[in-house]
Amino acid sequence: NAGVTQTPKFRILKIGQSMTLQCTQDMNHNYMYWYRQDPGMGLKLIYYSVGAGITDKGEVPNGYNVSRSTTEDFPLRLELAAPSQTSVYFCASSSRDRGFTPAEAFFGQGTRLTVV
Amino acid sequence: KQEVTQIPAALSVPEGENLVLNCSFTDSAIYNLQWFRQDPGKGLTSLLLIQSSQREQTSGRLNASLDKSSGRSTLYIAASQPGDSATYLCAVRDTGNQFYFGTGTSLTVIP
């Protein structure tokens, strides 16, 4: 059981370059999330999805895009990378329980991105 | 907007001590509260999940309580060990399906 898998683990980008951070989960979870973690700032929500074909903005969506074509995958796209996007990015997923109350969140191991 | 605060930001205790980590949140309309552990350079590992209707959850030496009406949760760690050294994060899940995180408590257990 792999859980939530993120790739790559590390990446260095030059200003203006683009890249896609991959996230896949094998738990058949409806909900998926992208967070960024900056030192001393906690985790901030970038985008989230409640199911295939449905995405919504979180607290800090500017400079990012997402898609959710399948239940398993939730890639995060950075267009025109900027130094302010240097951060650690975490993908998470969770299920619904029988009462349709969202349940426990599971996190990937993170992608450490540096924009120079 | 939900605000989550964790106090203290850092804590250092000798091995064997019992300790309490605090988490407070501003909006009591939550689905659940989850405590995580994060080791340096690693991802988040879930420790305990408390649904909004529950008062506490226990797992081994860990006990988490929730007082939704006052917007508070505590994580109690019994008989601390050096391997407990990590950053502990709490997150509340609101009725809009979003998680809000505190900035964490960095715990050091001294052998």
Segment holding B103, helix H or strand E: none
Count Cβ neighbours within 10 Å for each residue of B24-50 and write b for 16 or more, e otherwise.
bbeeeebbbbbbbbbeeeebbebbbbb
Considering only the beta carbons, identify the residue of A50, A103, A108 that sits closest to B43.
A108
- Which range, of A40-44, B8-12, B27-31, B64-68, averages the lowest pLDDT? A40-44
A101–B31 C-beta distance less than 8 A: yes
Best A36, A37, A106 member to test B by mutation, with max B CBs in 10 Å, is: A37
Query: Is it the case that residue B97 has pLDDT exceeding 90?
Result: no
The Cα A61–Cα A45 span in angstroms is 8
Query: Is it the case that residue A57 has pLDDT exceeding 70?
Result: yes
Asked if A32 and A86 touch (Cβ cutoff 8 Å), the reply is no
A50–B89 C-beta distance less than 8 A: no
Of B78, B94, B86, B79, the residue nearest B36 (C-alpha): B86
pLDDT tens digits, one per residue of A81-105: 999 999 999 999 998 654 555 578 8
Considering only the beta carbons, identify the residue of A102, A106, A109 that sits closest to B97.
A102
Question: What pLDDT is stored for residue A100 in this prediction?
Answer: 53
